[in-house]
Copies of this chain bind each other. A is one copy, B any other.
Amino acid sequence: MSEPKKRPTIRDVAKAAGVSVATVSRTLAGDYPVAAATRARIQRAVRDLDYVVNAHARALSGTTSKIVAIVVHDTTSPFFAHIASGVEQQATEAGRLCLVCTTHGDPDRELEIVKLMREQHADAVILVGGVFESEEYLERMSRYAHGLAEAGSKLVLCGRPSLGRDIPAITVEYDNTGGAFAATAHLLSHGHRRIAMLGGFAGLTTSEQRIQGYSDALTAYRVPVDPALVSHGELVRASGYERTSELLRQGTEFTAIFAGNDHVAAGALAALREAGKRVPEDVSVIGFDDTPFSEDLNPPLTTVHLPHQELGRTSVRMALQANGSSRQHVMLGTHIVVRDSVAAAPRPDSGRSRGRA
C-alpha cells in the first residue's frame, strides 16, 4: 500500500505519444533526427506522465554510467574538501554525478572501495591522497586497476605519486619539487643561507620531493646542504613547535625556516615567538600548502599555494577525455603567496640573538 502506482516507463510514453520506444529514446537522447511534431507529442507525454528515465537501465544498456567516484581520506579536512569540491564541479559540468567515499587513510579500506567501485562502472575513479603502499597493497591494487580498465573506467591518482609502470592510471599531482625549489629560492634570494627544513616523514614521496626541491635550490645557489638543518617528522603543528625549539636549544645557526606545511610553520612561529625571536626580522619562515588559516597567523604566513580545486578539476578532465592508453602524468604548478613572514636575512654582525653551532 505504500507505493501503489508504478512509475511510467519508456513504453508508457511511447504508447501515450503513439510512437515506438525507439523514437522516444532518440528524442530524449537529443541527437538523431526526429520530426518536430513527433518530438512535441513525446515531450507532451513525458510531461503528462511525469516520466523520468531510469539511470540504471540506461547505464546497463551499453552507454556510460555518468558517474565519477572520488575516494578521499576524510571529507572534513580542508585539503580533501577542496579537491573533492573541484572534482564535483568539473563532474557536474561534464554532466556527471559524483560518488564520494572515505578511507580514513586505511589502505585496506581503500582497496575495498576500489573493489566496490568496479560494480558501479563509474566513468572515473579518483583516488586522492597517499596511503602506505605495502607489497600486498600494490598487488591487489594492480589487479583492481586492470579490472577497472577492462570495464572502461579510468583510474586517476590525484595528489599522490603514481603506483608504478604496470598499473594503468592517470596521475595528477602537484609539482612538489618545483614548489619547494621556489620556496627555498625565495628565501635564498632574500639573502638567507642557513635555511632549516622541517620536512615530512622520510619515505613518503611527497616529503622527499619537497626536500629534493630544497636541496636543488641550495645547490643552484651553491650553498652546501647541512644535514643538521634538515629534519623529518609528522607534518603537524606540535612537531613544528618541537623541532624548532630543538634547533634553538641546540644553538644551530639559521636565519630562515622552510616548513613542510603550514601547520608545521604555525608551530615554528609559536616556538620562535616564545624564544623571543621576531619574524621576519630575526628569522624568516615560509610554509607550504596555503592552508586557509595561514593568512590569519601572526605574522601572516608567506607560503606556497597549492591549487587544490584545480587539482580536482584536472583529474576529472583528464579522465573524461582520456581515450585508449590511459597512462598519463600531469603536474600542476604552484606559486608563492607572499605575505609577511619573510624578509631579508639579518646582517651577520647585527646578530641580535642568534645561536652558534
Interface residues of A (CB under 8 A from B): 1-3, 5-7, 50, 52-60, 65, 67, 74-76, 78, 81-82, 84-85, 88-89, 92, 97-102, 115-116, 118-121, 143, 147, 149-152, 323-325
Q: Which residues of chain B are within 8 angstroms of A89 by Cβ–Cβ distance?
A: 102
Which residue on chain B has the smallest CB distance to residue A308?
B76
Q: List 5 A-B contacts (CB under 8 A).
A: A53-B119, A55-B121, A56-B57, A88-B100, A99-B100
Out of B2, B57, B97, name the residue touching A324 (CB < 8 Å).
Answer: B2
Q: Which residues of chain B are within 8 angstroms of A3 by Cβ–Cβ distance?
A: 149-150, 152
Q: Which residues of chain B are within 8 angstroms of A60 by Cβ–Cβ distance?
A: 54, 56-57, 60
Instruction: Give CA–CA (A60, B121) in the complex, Å.
Output: 14
CB <8 Å contact, A98 and B97 = no
CB <8 Å contact, B76 and A81 = yes
Q: Which residues of chain B are within 8 angstroms of A143 by Cβ–Cβ distance?
A: 50
Q: Which residues of chain B are within 8 angstroms of A54 by Cβ–Cβ distance?
A: 60, 119, 121
Which residue on chain B has the smallest CB distance to residue A120?
B55
Out of B76, B99, B147, name the residue touching A52 (CB < 8 Å).
Answer: B147
Q: Using known A-B contacts A54-B119, A74-B85, A82-B76, determine if residue A1 contacts B324 with beta carbons closer than 8 Å.
A: yes
CB <8 Å contact, A2 and B84 = no
Instruction: Give CA–CA (A147, B147) in the complex, Å.
Output: 36
CB <8 Å contact, B100 and A56 = no
Instruction: Give CA–CA (A260, B93) in the complex, Å.
Output: 35
CB <8 Å contact, B84 and A52 = no
Out of B1, B98, B150, name the residue touching A7 (CB < 8 Å).
Answer: B150
